[in-house]
């Protein structure tokens, strides 16, 4: 794999502005677009195929010919105006590489991989009468020895603070659930990534704990860490670290006891009220593939 190293030069932002669809966005970080693009005041990007261009005229000519109004690959989820597309990084290499270039403008990763073959990309879109507008995405390895269910994850800046980050995370765990696995995002997480994941893990685990019923009257409900992990598809280590972060886990008489505090309950209720968009498993039409039997994918 070819890696782009995060030295002094690559930390310097090299693109001033990108225009994608109806949005003009100021990049946050360096991205290795071709040298001739970096001297331009604006890079123009087709929001459907993600091709980058030098001028509004080039974009206009491109849009007259571009046959796409949605990402390539299969639409595997739709509910109301939200869709997910699954894109194979080998079959749709140009799109996947352009997606990585766009994402790198907003992700401070140490490396950027140009070899997209081993990855699947799940792109979240908002649908209107014009087409499917990219909101964000996550990528995952086709075969992960560490059981990572996310490699990179990003909500584009115009769509941030609308609950889409959690929706992407929830979708990644729904995929893991269908695969019959527990998953975890690739480490290290960015500061923003850790906050989003910790919030998602906390809400999901508390939902499970608050839904528990005692087996007999007067008894405390019982559940194991493994059971929480299986019910949520969240890896055991992430369940434990979340319970510790929330100060809900105590050691008592030779065993761990989880106690839900009033404070944790109030925080959970507030966070749950804010989550207006959720994944509806009935709207996901997807079957896992066995990549180990497919040679070089």
Would you name the residues annotated as active-site residues?
186
Q: Residue length, the chain?
A: 297
How far is it, in rounded angstroms, from Cα 202 to Cα 245? 9
What Cα–Cα distance (Å) separates residue 138 from each residue in 85, 134, 143, 296?
A: 11, 12, 15, 22
| Contact predicate 175/120, CB 8 Å | no
Residues 6+ apart with CB under 8 A from 137: 99, 103, 121, 122, 123, 124, 152, 153, 154, 168
* Whole-number Cα distances in Å, 252 to 208, 255, 257: 22, 5, 6
Helix (H, G, I), strand (E, B) or coil at 39: coil
Residue 78: Cβ within 10 Å count: 17
Please state, in angstroms and rounded to a whole number, the distance separating the CA atoms of residues 116 and 87. Answer: 11
- 3-class secondary structure, 278: coil
Return d(Cα 4, Cα 110) in angstroms, integer. Answer: 8
Structure tokens at 133: 């507008």
Does residue 193 sit in helix, strand or coil?
helix
Spatial distance between the Cα atoms of 3 and 6, rounded to a whole number of angstroms: 9
Q: Are strands 82-88 and 18-20 parallel, antiparallel or unpaired?
A: unpaired
């Amino acid at each position: 794999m070819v890696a782009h190293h995060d030295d002094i030069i690559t930390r310097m932002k090299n693109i001033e502005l990108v225009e994608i669809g109806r949005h003009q966005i100021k990049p946050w970080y360096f991205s290795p677009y071709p040298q001739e693009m970096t001297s331009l005041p604006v890079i123009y990007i087709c929001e459907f195929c993600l091709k980058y261009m030098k001028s509004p005229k080039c974009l206009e000519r491109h849009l007259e010919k571009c046959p796409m109004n949605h990402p390539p690959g299969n639409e595997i989820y739709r509910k109301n105006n939200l869709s997910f597309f699954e894109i194979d990084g080998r079959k749709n290499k140009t799109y996947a590489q352009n997606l990585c270039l766009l994402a790198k403008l907003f992700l401070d990763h140490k490396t950027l991989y140009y070899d997209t073959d081993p990855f699947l990309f799940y792109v979240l879109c908002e649908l209107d009468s014009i087409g499917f507008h990219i909101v964000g995405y996550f990528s995952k390895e086709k075969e992960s020895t560490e059981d990572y269910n996310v490699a990179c994850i990003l909500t584009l800046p115009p769509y941030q603070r609308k609950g889409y980050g959690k929706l992407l995370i929830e979708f990644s765990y729904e995929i893991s659930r269908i695969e019959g696995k527990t998953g975890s995002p690739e480490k290290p997480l960015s500061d923003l990534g850790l906050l989003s994941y910790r919030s998602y893990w906390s809400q999901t685990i508390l939902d499970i704990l608050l839904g528990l019923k005692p087996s007999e009257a007067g008894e405390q409900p019982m559940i194991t860490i493994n059971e929480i992990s299986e019910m949520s598809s969240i890896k055991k280590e992430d369940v434990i670290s979340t319970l510790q972060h929330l100060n809900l886990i105590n050691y008592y008489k030779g065993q761990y006891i989880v106690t839900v505090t009033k404070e944790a309950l109030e925080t959970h209720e507030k966070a749950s009220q804010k989550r207006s968009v959720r994944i509806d498993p009935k709207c996901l039409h997807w079957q896992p593939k066995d990549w180990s039997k497919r040679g070089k994918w």
